[in-house]
Structure 1
Amino acid sequence: MKKQALAALIALSVSIPAMAATFNSPDKVFIKASAAHAITVENWDSGENAASTFTNAYKFTNSYRISHGLLGAKADVVMPEALQRNMSVDLSTIMIDDLDGKMPLTTFLRDRLKNHSMVVLKNNHLVHQHFWNNMDENSTHLDMSVTKSYTSMLAAIAVSEGKLDMSKPVTDYLPELNNTGWSKATVQEVADMRTSLKMTPTKGKSWDDRMTGAQGYNGDLSKTYPNGVADYFKFVTSVTEPMGSKYMYQCANTEVLGKIVEAATGERLADLLESEIWQKVGMENDAFLMSDPSGYPMASGGLNATTRDLARTGRMILNNGKNYLGEQVVPKQFIDNLFAGNDTVRSAWSKGKESALADGWYKDQFRLLNVGGHNILAMVGIHGQVVAMHKETGIVIAMNGGYPMTETPRMAISLFHKVIPAIIDAINEYKSK
Structure 2
Amino acid sequence: MKKSMITLTVGLGLAFTASASSLEVHGPDQAFLERAAAYGIGPHNWDTGKSVRATFTNSYKFLKSHEIKNTTDYVHDLGKAKGFALDTLTATDIDGEYPMSVILRDRLEFDALVILKDGQLVDEYYWSGMERGRIHQMNSVTKSFTAIMLLQLVDEGKVDMSKPVSYYIPELTDNPVWSKATVEEAADMRSGVKINYDEGYLWDRKMTTIQEWNGPNTEYPEITSIVQYADEVALSKEFETGKVYDYQCINTEMMGQIIVKVTGKNISENLQERIWNKVGIEYPARMLINESEEGMASGGLVASTRDLARMMDVLVNEGKNRKGDKVVSTEFVEELLEGNEEVRTAWKNNQTESLISPKTWYKDQIRTFNLEDGSQFITFVGTNGQTAIGNPETGVVIAFNGAQDEYQAVRTVAMTYLDAVPTLLKAVEKVDMK
| Fold shared by both chains (TM-score > 0.5) | yes
Q: Which runs of structure 2 are paired with 1:6-45 in the superposition (5 Å)?
A: 20-45=22-47
Q: Which amino acid aligns with 2:313?
A: R
Q: Does 1:318 align with 2:316?
A: yes
Moved over 3 A (4+): 428-432
Q: Which residue of 2 aligns with 1:363?
A: 363
Mapped to 2, the partners of 1:249 and 1:84 lie a distance apart of 37
Q: Does the residue aligned with 1:235 lie in a helix, a strand or coil?
A: coil
Q: Does the residue aligned with 1:136 lie in a helix, a strand or coil?
A: coil
Mapped to 1, the partners of 2:126 and 2:138 lie a distance apart of 15
Q: Which amino acid aligns with 1:259?
A: Q
Unpaired segments ≥5 residues, structure 2? 1-20
Q: Which runs of structure 2 are paired with 1:133-282 in the superposition (5 Å)?
A: 133-177=128-172, 178-221=174-217, 224-240=221-237, 241-282=239-280
Confirm or deny: 8 A CA contact 2:396 2:429 kept in the other structure: no
Mapped to 2, the partners of 1:261 and 1:337 lie a distance apart of 21
Mapped to 2, the partners of 1:82 and 1:276 lie a distance apart of 19
Confirm or deny: 8 A CA contact 1:194 1:244 kept in the other structure: yes
Q: Which amino acid aligns with 1:272?
A: N
| 1:429 CA drift (Å) | 4.4
What is the CA deviation profile of residues 135-193 of structure 1, one whole-angstrom value per residue up to 9, with x for unaligned ones? Answer: 11000000100000010111011111221111111111112222242221111111110
CA RMSD of superposed structures (Å): 1.7
Q: Does the residue aligned with 1:127 lie in a helix, a strand or coil?
A: strand
Mapped to 1, the partners of 2:31 and 2:228 lie a distance apart of 29
Mapped to 1, the partners of 2:123 and 2:240 lie a distance apart of 45
Mapped to 1, the partners of 2:68 and 2:279 lie a distance apart of 13
The one of 51, 59, 62 aligned to 1:49: 51
Mapped to 2, the partners of 1:345 and 1:146 lie a distance apart of 19
Q: Which runs of structure 2 are paired with 1:378-417 in the superposition (5 Å)?
A: 378-417=379-418
Q: Which runs of structure 2 are paired with 1:76-115 in the superposition (5 Å)?
A: 77-85=72-80, 87-115=82-110
Mapped to 2, the partners of 1:83 and 1:62 lie a distance apart of 31
What is the CA deviation profile of residues 367-390 of structure 1, one whole-angstrom value per residue up to 9, with x for unaligned ones? Answer: 001124221100001111101001
Mapped to 1, the partners of 2:268 and 2:151 lie a distance apart of 15
Q: Does the residue aligned with 1:195 lie in a helix, a strand or coil?
A: coil
Confirm or deny: 8 A CA contact 2:315 2:392 kept in the other structure: no
Confirm or deny: 8 A CA contact 1:143 1:305 kept in the other structure: yes
Q: Does the residue aligned with 2:122 lie in a helix, a strand or coil?
A: strand
The size of the alignment, in residue pairs, is 407
Confirm or deny: 8 A CA contact 1:119 1:128 kept in the other structure: yes
Mapped to 2, the partners of 1:426 and 1:85 lie a distance apart of 19
| 1:284 CA drift (Å) | 1.1
What is the CA deviation profile of residues 13-71 of structure 1, one whole-angstrom value per residue up to 9, with x for unaligned ones? Answer: xxxxxx933222222232122112211111110122001100011121221111122xx
Mapped to 1, the partners of 2:338 and 2:222 lie a distance apart of 40
Q: Does the residue aligned with 1:389 lie in a helix, a strand or coil?
A: strand
Mapped to 1, the partners of 2:248 and 2:81 lie a distance apart of 41
| 1:96 CA drift (Å) | 1.5
Q: Which amino acid aligns with 1:201?
A: Y
Residues 267 and 136 (structure 1 numbering): CA distance in 2 closer, same or farther, change over 3 Å?
same
Mapped to 2, the partners of 1:165 and 1:133 lie a distance apart of 44
Confirm or deny: 8 A CA contact 1:379 1:387 kept in the other structure: yes
Confirm or deny: 8 A CA contact 2:381 2:387 kept in the other structure: yes
Q: Does the residue aligned with 2:77 lie in a helix, a strand or coil?
A: coil
* Structure of higher RCO (CA pairs closer than 8 Å, 6+ residues apart): 2
Confirm or deny: 8 A CA contact 2:91 2:99 kept in the other structure: yes
Mapped to 1, the partners of 2:95 and 2:325 lie a distance apart of 49
Mapped to 1, the partners of 2:74 and 2:336 lie a distance apart of 27
Mapped to 1, the partners of 2:22 and 2:73 lie a distance apart of 16
Confirm or deny: 8 A CA contact 2:188 2:364 kept in the other structure: yes
Residue identity over aligned pairs, in percent, reads 38
Q: Which amino acid aligns with 1:267?
A: K
Q: Which amino acid aligns with 2:293?
A: G
Residues 86 and 288 (structure 1 numbering): CA distance in 2 closer, same or farther, change over 3 Å?
closer
Q: Which residue of 2 aligns with 1:3?
A: none
Mapped to 2, the partners of 1:276 and 1:21 lie a distance apart of 14
Confirm or deny: 8 A CA contact 1:34 1:40 kept in the other structure: yes
Range with bigger deviation, 48-57 or 258-267: 258-267
Confirm or deny: 8 A CA contact 2:92 2:415 kept in the other structure: no
Residues 321 and 429 (structure 1 numbering): CA distance in 2 closer, same or farther, change over 3 Å?
closer
Residues 407 and 30 (structure 1 numbering): CA distance in 2 closer, same or farther, change over 3 Å?
same
| 1:237 CA drift (Å) | 1.8
Mapped to 2, the partners of 1:129 and 1:248 lie a distance apart of 34
Confirm or deny: 8 A CA contact 1:145 1:380 kept in the other structure: yes
| 1:308 CA drift (Å) | 0.3
Q: Does the residue aligned with 1:220 lie in a helix, a strand or coil?
A: coil
Q: Does the residue aligned with 2:246 lie in a helix, a strand or coil?
A: coil
Q: Which residue of 2 aligns with 1:13?
A: none
Mapped to 2, the partners of 1:384 and 1:185 lie a distance apart of 30
| 1:314 CA drift (Å) | 1.1
Mapped to 2, the partners of 1:109 and 1:54 lie a distance apart of 17
Q: Which amino acid aligns with 1:250?
A: Q
